[in-house]
Amino acid sequence: MNSHLIRIHLTILLICAGLLISTQAVQATIGYYYVEVKSLAIQSNGYILAAGSIKATQTSKGFLVSLDSDGTLHRILLLSTLHNVTKVAIQPDGKILVAINTQPGTTQLYRLHPNGSIDKSFKAELFLAVIMALDVQPDGAILIGGSANSGGPPYRNNPKCGNAFYRLKADGSIDETFKAVVKQCVYDLIYVSDVAIQSDGKIIIAGQFTVINQQPCPNICRLNKDGSLDMSFNAFTNGGVVRIAIQPDKKILITGKYTHIMGKPRQSVDR
């Protein structure tokens, strides 16, 4: 693939991250209809990681690239015929976590060395159909959320229910001491779409749900480090929250499919 085209169009996409962009130039030159950036992360050396998918008439390729701070291409880390690279996150040691959906209902979490080679020692224990939320705690523990499959803790004996939010240990195994439970059963339209970690270690999660740990908590909640619900956090919406971000002043930005926050009319992007 022409690296110059990747550089030009990813620079545009970084400005409009998350939006579906159609470019006649790409289509005419290499047959690709559009590129979708799903996730961004910044490495300690200043390089920007961009992950997503390139889709054409009869094919789809997932990609992970690193960009210079001005948006020019530094390196292609991954270009795969797997359907979709949905999330990227960086561990404290610089290794890269990459979530890939290979087909509907099938997802994988890989760990890459900083040079892009696969860390074969990492084996993620997953009970999610789709990975939508991914972040790493300072101790290397991995927070992961999305749409649940059945069979994982704490619903191993229930073939119809699962948990949409987990914590993995640094080696990829499930941390069963983590208390958060976002119960999702068959036909429930429930998912965790994003996660962010505050400077004090508390965890903000967002998505489409009504209950966490058997407590009412519509669509956005704050957890303590152990996954228990922080009852002092009082925010809720009347529709799903898609993305969250924490500002340096600790205020929280959210965007989603809601019309009210805490009963007051609001519009899609709020703080």
d(CA 170, CA 186): 30
d(CA 249, CA 84): 34
Task: For 56-100, give the secondary structure using H, E and C.
Answer: ECCCEEEEEEEECCCCCEEEEEEEECCCEEEEEEECCCCCEEEEE
Token pair belonging to 6: 């990747």
Give the dihedral of Cα atoms 200, 201, 206, 210; nearest 10 deg. Answer: -100
| Closest residue by Cα to residue 237 from 208, 204, 198 | 208
Residue 104: its pLDDT value, please? 65
User: Which residues in 68-187 belong to E strands, given as ranges?
Assistant: 73-80, 84-90, 96-103, 106-112, 128-136, 142-148, 161-163, 165-168, 183-185
Token pair belonging to 200: 């004090």
Residue 26: its pLDDT value, please? 35
The structure tokens 């890989």 sit at: 110
| Residue-by-residue pLDDT tens, the chain, 271 positions | 333 334 434 443 443 333 333 334 334 433 455 777 788 888 888 888 888 877 766 667 788 888 887 777 788 787 776 667 889 999 999 999 999 887 666 788 999 998 888 899 999 988 898 899 999 999 999 999 999 888 788 888 888 889 999 999 999 999 999 999 999 988 788 999 999 999 999 999 999 999 999 899 889 999 999 999 999 998 888 888 888 888 888 888 888 887 777 777 777 666 5
d(CA 191, CA 224): 20
Residue 197: its pLDDT value, please? 94
| Closest residue by Cα to residue 196 from 154, 162, 243, 130 | 243
d(CA 259, CA 223): 24
Give the dihedral of Cα atoms 6, 7, 13, 14; nearest 10 deg. Answer: 140
Residue 269: its pLDDT value, please? 60
